[in-house]
Structure 1
Amino acid sequence: MYINVSADNISVNPEWPRPPQNLVQSLAAYPPALIGDVRNRLDMMSADIRCLTPNARLAGAILPIQVWEGDNLAIHRGLDEAKPGDVLVIAGNGVTNRSVFGGILAEICLSKGVTGVIIDGAVRDIEEINDMGLALYAKATVPAGPSKNGPGAVGKPVACGNVVCNPGDIVIGDHDGIVVVPQSEAFGTLHRLPHQEDMERQIRDRVKATVTD
């Protein structure tokens, strides 16, 4: 960690399988709305988790982090486990009166190759983070900073935006919002997407034909 604080009360699962990057990128070629349709419109985070940065596109393997309300010690500890291509999914219990993420953590994320951050809670330093180019989704912004006392957990399943997120699941986000694809169902989801895309294309073509007739 970059801070001199004991993290003994942060429970850590240090290893879990990440999905292949080519699988993540193949899914990321489709918008979350289409992926959600293929997945029976399940596993999409609630609308109050919204994009706060111009760089809305986000795709990667989930590194789940559970924080104590208004505390970000687990995020600092969790970044020790981050690998390039990870997305931090932070369960903050929806608390918005204290931010748990800001400019310093964003700098660490970029140095570790983290591709985005999703927080069921609040952030600060949003203008600074905008300039960095890190994709960031959260419930709110607030200038009040966090404590660094813990407890918390890293690499264990969390609930974020009303969706259960397991380590190594795939998350895709754009301006519409976020969809989570369990790693075990990723190939099946990808296999069904071209058919769904083609079906929607055919509907649009019929609409255009009706207008031009």
Structure 2
Amino acid sequence: MSDNTSWPAGYRIHPRAAGPDAETVAAFRTMPVAAIGDSMSRNVGTVGLRQYHQRLDTVLCGPAVTVRVRPGDNLMIHKALMMVEPGDVLVIDGSGDVSQALVGGLMRTTCIAKQLGGLVIDGAVRDLCEWAEDGMPIFAKAHTHRGPSKDGPGEVNVPVSCAGMVVMPGDLIIGDADGVIAVPAAEAASVLARTRAHLAKEAKIRETNRTGTADPERFDAVLREKGLPI
């Protein structure tokens, strides 16, 4: 596989992108998705996905291996699973189609054997009882019993759009009970610093809320700026 390979129309397979270093990935694993989003302008991340793993405290965190597929077809997802490394997260652009499942219980077995970090799918899944078990975080748009085709076309490690979130290969993907967010690999260090600062700020606000000592000017000043006689 090479970036210089001449591919037939609709097919493209690029090498895996490394993503952030292991220390950065481990640090983000302890950061709430909501706080990461707050530090990234509050208007990024997936919309309309739900978790199909059962435990609410499960955290998905790892570099993205991206896949774009024809709705209802998972040929290139199988190919991507041959390329992943332990800890990677498959981010699958299925165009939001939920008429056929893109992954099921048999593929979950492969994901576990490959020590995948999890899956984020703008599409449907099936075999819910298996995905509900511990060991493989998965977020998807919906579920259906209808299985996929394996005909292609599709692309691996290309820019994708997944449930309203743009993802580049190697971006750091973090998912928890609140949702899923992508941190550009080149910005991971700065986003981590901003997230830590935001959490420290929230800790101070939480304490003033708890003790009833919150500064009324926090909101009154904003209201006065809007012309209210406060």
TM-score (norm 1): 0.91
1:113 to 112, 115, 127: 115
Residue 84 of structure 1 aligns to which amino acid in structure 2? P
**What's the counterpart of residue 99 of structure 2?**
97
**What's the counterpart of residue 224 of structure 2?**
none
- Per the alignment, do residues 141 and 168 of structure 1 end up closer, same or farther by CA in structure 2, a change over 3 Å counting? same
**What's the counterpart of residue 67 of structure 1?**
69
Residue 52 of structure 1 aligns to which amino acid in structure 2? Y
1:170-210 per-position Cα deviation (integer Å, ceiling 9, x unaligned): 01111110111000110001111221111111111111111
- 1:173-212 equivalences under 5 Å are 173-210=175-212
Q: Structure 1 stretches of 5 or more lacking a match?
A: 1-7
SS in 1 for 2:37: helix
Cα offset, 1:34, TM superposition: 0.2
Cα offset, 1:69, TM superposition: 0.7
SS in 2 for 1:133: coil
Cα offset, 1:16, TM superposition: 2.1
1:44-89 per-position Cα deviation (integer Å, ceiling 9, x unaligned): 111x111111144110100000011100001001111101110000
Deviates more, 1:160-169 or 1:51-60: 51-60
1:51 maps onto 2:51 in alignment: yes
User: Which of the pair has the greater relative contact order for Cα pairs under 8 Å at 6+ separation?
Assistant: 1
Share of identical aligned residues, percent?
Answer: 37
Residue 184 of structure 1 aligns to which amino acid in structure 2? A
Q: Distance in 2 between matches of 1:50 and 1:21?
A: 27
Q: Distance in 1 between matches of 2:20 and 2:111?
A: 19
**What's the counterpart of residue 89 of structure 2?**
87
Q: Distance in 2 between matches of 1:138 and 1:15?
A: 22
SS in 2 for 1:127: helix
Cα offset, 1:25, TM superposition: 1.3
The count of residues paired between Structure 1 and Structure 2 equals: 204
Residue 35 of structure 1 aligns to which amino acid in structure 2? I
Q: Which has the larger radius of gyration?
A: 2
**What's the counterpart of residue 33 of structure 1?**
34
SS in 2 for 1:100: strand
1:126-172 per-position Cα deviation (integer Å, ceiling 9, x unaligned): 10122352111001010000000000000111100111101100011
Q: Structure 2 stretches of 5 or more lacking a match?
A: 1-7, 214-230
Q: Is the 8 A contact 1:102 1:123 kept in 2?
A: yes
Residue 49 of structure 1 aligns to which amino acid in structure 2? L
